[in-house]
Amino acid sequence: MLLEVQGLCKRFGDLAALSQVSFHIRTGEVLGLIGPNGAGKTTLFECMAGVLSADEGVLRVGGRAVPAGQRSGILFYVPDSIVPWGSQPVGWALDYTVGFFRGRGDLRNELISELSLEPLLGRRIGALSKGQRKRILLAIGLLTSQPALLIDEPFEGLDLRQTREVAGVLRSHAGRGRTLFLSIHQIGDAARICDRFVLLSNGQVRGQGDVGELAALAQARAPGGSYSTLEEVFLALT
């Protein structure tokens, strides 16, 4: 087990965005965070990364609680819908990630090739399309050196072909030992890439495990149903 989240709570006024969220992440796995819109997926990622203060709860690594300010060594979070350093060229942003974030310079050219970034290197990030920007963000995340990478909506803005290609890239990096925790709202995409899932709804964990384990959980809660796909499990548990 790489890390464990225990009893995470976050309130925004009267709204309980996260309530006693607990789960664990195994080393080298691709864990999917799935849930309907407004389930608290982004809030969970931000609390885990220390970008947002949690009201309660701990993140443990090897049984030791790691405070928000000391998580830079264990995980890196790539938010959705951001345009960092928009006036700078893509090539410089990748160099900056390697230099400032002490990222993996050995992966730079490989990622440029894998994510088809070569034609974009000289272009300003702010001038790119949504899908192109998403590929840049993925490259930035994959260039970092933390063992766990949290990516919010990795396929948002990508077309079908790109989604498949990016899924392949992510799987290949997971295969080399990188642990990925992906927030995905498209259940089909999640089913294609993830090893296990955390189902989140209304700020609460409704279940965690692989498709078989989740199907068993759904069967226990609503006997008699058909739970052969992740979509059916998702609908039953959320």
Partner 1 sequence: MRLRKGPFRWLVEKELRELAAARSWWVLLVAMGPLVGISFISAVNTYGEVSGLNGTSAGVGEALSPLIGIWGPTFSSCELAAVFLLPFVIIRLVGGDRQNGALKLELQQGASPISLVAAKTVVAAIAWIVAMLPALSAILLWKSYGGSVYWPEIGAVVVGHLLNGGLTIALAASMASLAEHPSTAAILTLGVTVGTWILNFFGAIQGGIWEKAAGYTPAVLVAEFQHGLIRLDVLLTAITLVLLGLSISAVWMRLGETTARRAALSAGLMGLAAALILGCTFLRGSWDLSESRGNSFSEADERALRQVRQPLSIEVHLAPEDPRRLDLERRALSKLRRTMPHLSVSYVSSTSIGMFEQTASGYGEIWYALGGRREMSRTITEEGVLEAIYSVAQISPPKQDDEAAFRGHPLPTRPIGARVIFWGIWPAAFALAAAVRRCRA
Q: Which of 50, 57, 154, 157 binds partner 1 (CB under 8 A)?
A: 50
The position carrying tokens 């296990």 is 196
Based on CB atoms, which residue is closest to partner 1, 7 or 212? 7
In the range 66-85, which residues lie near partner 1 by CB under 8 A? 68-69, 71-73, 76-79, 81-85
Q: Write the binding mask 124 to 153 for partner 1: x where contact by CB under 8 A, - elsewhere.
A: x-x-------------x-------------
Nearer to partner 1, 1 or 51 (CB): 51
Shortest gap between Cβ of 48 and partner 1 (angstroms)? 10
Q: What is the DSSP letter of 72?
A: T
Our measurement of the distance from residue 204's CA atom to the centroid of its chain's CA atoms, rounded to an integer in Å, reads 17
The number of residues that bind partner 1 (CB under 8 A) is 35
DSSP state of 229: S
Taking the complex as a whole, the smallest distance from the CB of residue 35 to partner 1 amounts, in Å, to: 21
DSSP string across 90-152:
HHHHHHHHHHHTT--GGGHHHHHHHTT-GGGTTSBGGGS-HHHHHHHHHHHHHHS--SEEEEE
Near partner 1 by CB under 8 A: residue from 95, 110, 165, 232: 95
The minimum distance between CB 161 and partner 1, in angstroms, equals 26
Residue type, 168: G
DSSP SS3 for 7: strand
CB of 80 to partner 1, least distance (A): 9
> How many angstroms separate the CA atoms of 76 and 43, rounded?
15
Q: Which is nearer to partner 1, 64 or 106 (CB)?
A: 106
- Rounded CA-CA distance 104/88 in Å is 20
Rounded distance, CA 15 to CA 26, Å?
30
Residue 27 Cβ, how far from partner 1 at the closest point, in Å?
20
Q: Which residues bind partner 1 (CB under 8 A)?
A: 49-53, 68-69, 71-73, 76-79, 81-89, 92, 95-96, 98-102, 105, 124, 126, 140
